[in-house]
């Protein structure tokens, strides 16, 4: 009799535990389904889900997950002075939208972002001290080293982000860039301007043979390119830098890895002043007649070259710390 009671008790207990374990599994399944449904709802509305600390902990960090999240950690507020962040954000958005409107769009992959001013706790939890950062959170476990994209090495063009996502998740996102007509428009405008000018001057095309105007045109292109206008266009640096603590204004970026917009104008100015100096020297050599005038012109040219070249060199020294040579000005 006692044996039967024991067996009965065991069976009852067993059933009880099974129901607990089964219930827990069921609950877990429900939690996951709810999470996926919620993420899908957000993602349908907006390709990139904006998260604060709570959403990050619930949907990105905490298990259970059966999806990947590509998370951008950034600082878009103007007072953070992160111009790279804005550019990276645009590229990230292109990838997120490409995924959102792709044929293979599914609940396997989500795009999310945390702005520093809405989730500083996330930055602390991940021990991040810079922005922007791209991280991958897979369906299982914690992110490894390769789950943080090395943007210092590969950059953050949308195509590069997509390739990195493919490496981490096996999901291929075909990047679709919205067409940008502003470049085409500018070229068309330029051509119609030139066309109009030629048409108006059609009876007098002498100016086409003018060496000086061609020289000025060529020099303008050279100055624009050597001063880093293209770099400005691509990287979008700030105009200049004001130190928020001391209020001191910097016009020259202190390292060779960066530059400010105003700095490129300073470089254009110095370069053209040096070129003008050389032109004066050249003219002095070619000039006929009055020797006194020739000498003055030559001296002015020489002074121009020496003075502005030494200024240029000191700018260079400020950027390449440890460069040993200087000229006139320290
Ligand atoms: C993840 O789990 C949920 C809930 O079970 C399911 O609806 C969804 O399809 C799963 N996602 C993937 C990518 O398997």
3-state SS assignment for residue 43: helix
Whether residue 110 has its Cβ less than 6 Å from ligand 1: no
Q: Is the pLDDT of residue 163 over 90?
A: yes
Q: How far is the CA of 66 from the centre of ligand 1 (A)?
A: 6
Fold for domain 28-169? Glutaredoxin (3.40.30)
Whether residue 306 has its Cβ less than 6 Å from ligand 1: no
Q: Are 9 and 66 in contact (CB under 8 A)?
A: no
38 — pLDDT class (breaks 50, 70, 90): very high
What distance, in Å, lies between the first and last C-alpha atoms of the chain?
105
Neighbours of 71 (CB within 10 A): 27
Strands 48-51 and 109-115: parallel
Per-residue tokens: 216: 């000025």
Neighbours of 3 (CB within 10 A): 7
Per-residue tokens: 281: 């020297």
Whether residue 220 has its Cβ less than 6 Å from ligand 1: no
3-state SS assignment for residue 174: coil
Per-residue tokens: 7: 């067996």
126 Cβ contact partners less than 8 Å away, ≥ 6 residues apart: 73, 135
- Average pLDDT on 251-258 reads 86
287 Cβ contact partners less than 8 Å away, ≥ 6 residues apart: 293, 294, 297
Whether residue 38 has its Cβ less than 6 Å from ligand 1: no
The candidate with the shortest Cα–Cα distance to 134, out of 76, 80, 70, 46, is: 70
The pLDDT, as a whole number, for residue 4 is 64
Q: How far is CA 261 from CA 173, 227, 228, 274, in A?
A: 35, 10, 9, 20
Whether residue 36 has its Cβ less than 6 Å from ligand 1: yes
Q: Is the pLDDT of residue 290 over 70?
A: yes
160 — pLDDT class (breaks 50, 70, 90): very high
Q: How far is the CA of 26 from the centre of ligand 1 (A)?
A: 14
What is 65-100 written as a DSSP string? Answer: --SEEEEEEE--SGGG--HHHHHHHHHHHHHHHHHH
E-assigned strand segments in the chain:
48-51, 68-74, 109-115, 133-137, 241-242, 249-250
Residue 139 CA, closest ligand 1 atom number: 13
81 — pLDDT class (breaks 50, 70, 90): confident
* Rounded CA separation 135/113 (Å): 10
Whether residue 66 has its Cβ less than 6 Å from ligand 1: yes
Residue 32 CA, closest ligand 1 atom number: 4
Q: How far is CA 145 from CA 29, 71, 148, 168, in A?
A: 29, 14, 6, 11
Whether residue 33 has its Cβ less than 6 Å from ligand 1: yes
Domain locations in the chain? Answer: 28-169, 208-319
Q: Are 309 and 315 in contact (CB under 8 A)?
A: no
Q: How far is the CA of 140 from the centre of ligand 1 (A)?
A: 14
Residue 67 CA, closest ligand 1 atom number: 13
Strand partners, 50: 113
Q: What is the pLDDT of residues 40-53, one digit of tens each?
A: 999 999 999 999 99
Whether residue 67 has its Cβ less than 6 Å from ligand 1: yes
Neighbours of 51 (CB within 10 A): 23
Whether residue 32 has its Cβ less than 6 Å from ligand 1: yes
Per-residue tokens: 167: 């490496």
Residue 66 CA, closest ligand 1 atom number: 1
Q: How far is the CA of 56 from the centre of ligand 1 (A)?
A: 19
The candidate with the shortest Cα–Cα distance to 298, out of 274, 276, 282, is: 282
Q: Are 307 and 295 in contact (CB under 8 A)?
A: no
* Rounded CA separation 1/6 (Å): 9
67-81, 165-179, 200-214: segment of lowest average pLDDT: 200-214
Q: Which of 33, 40, 169, 171 to mutate to test the pocket of ligand 1 (most atoms within 8 A of CB)?
A: 33
Strand partners, 68: 109
Neighbours of 21 (CB within 10 A): 10
Q: Whose CA is nearest to atom 2 of ligand 1?
A: 33
Q: Which residue has the higher pLDDT, 118 or 29?
A: 118
Q: Whose CA is nearest to atom 9 of ligand 1?
A: 107
Residue 29 CA, closest ligand 1 atom number: 5
42-46, 148-152, 232-236, 289-293: segment of lowest average pLDDT: 232-236
- Average pLDDT on 302-308 reads 96
**Can you give the length of the chain in residues?**
330
Whether residue 108 has its Cβ less than 6 Å from ligand 1: yes
């Amino acid at each position: 009799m006692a044996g039967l009671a024991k067996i009965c008790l065991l069976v009852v207990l067993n059933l009880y535990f099974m129901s607990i374990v089964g219930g827990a599994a069921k609950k877990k399944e429900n939690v996951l389904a709810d999470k996926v449904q919620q993420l899908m709802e957000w993602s349908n509305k907006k390709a990139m889900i904006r998260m604060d600390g709570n959403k990050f902990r619930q949907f990105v960090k905490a298990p259970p997950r059966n999806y990947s999240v590509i998370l951008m950690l950034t600082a878009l507020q103007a007072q953070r002075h992160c111009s790279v962040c804005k550019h990276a954000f645009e590229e990230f958005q292109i990838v997120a939208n490409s995924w959102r409107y792709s044929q293979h769009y599914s609940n396997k992959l989500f795009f999310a972002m945390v702005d520093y001013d809405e989730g500083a706790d996330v930055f602390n939890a991940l021990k991040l001290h810079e922005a922007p950062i791209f991280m991958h959170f897979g369906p299982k476990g914690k992110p490894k080293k390769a789950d943080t994209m090395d943007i210092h090495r590969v950059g953050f063009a949308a195509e590069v982000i997509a390739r990195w996502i493919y490496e981490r998740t096996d999901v291929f996102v075909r990047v679709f860039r919205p067409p940008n007509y502003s470049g085409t428009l500018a070229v068309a405008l330029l051509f119609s301007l030139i066309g109009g000018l030629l048409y108006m001057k059609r009876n007098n095309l002498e100016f086409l043979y003018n060496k000086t105007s061609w020289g000025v045109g060529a020099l303008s292109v050279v100055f624009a390119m050597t001063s880093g206008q293209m770099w400005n266009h691509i990287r979008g640096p700030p105009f200049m830098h004001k130190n928020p603590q001391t209020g001191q204004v910097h016009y020259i970026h202190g390292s060779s890895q960066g530059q400010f917009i105003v700095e490129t104008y300073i470089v254009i100015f110095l370069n053209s002043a040096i070129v003008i100096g050389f032109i004066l020297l050249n003219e002095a050599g070619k000039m006929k007649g009055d020797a006194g005038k020739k000498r003055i012109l030559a001296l002015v040219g020489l002074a121009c070259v020496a003075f502005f070249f030494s200024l240029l060199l000191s700018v260079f020294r400020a950027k390449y710390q440890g460069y040993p040579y200087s000229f006139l000005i320290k």
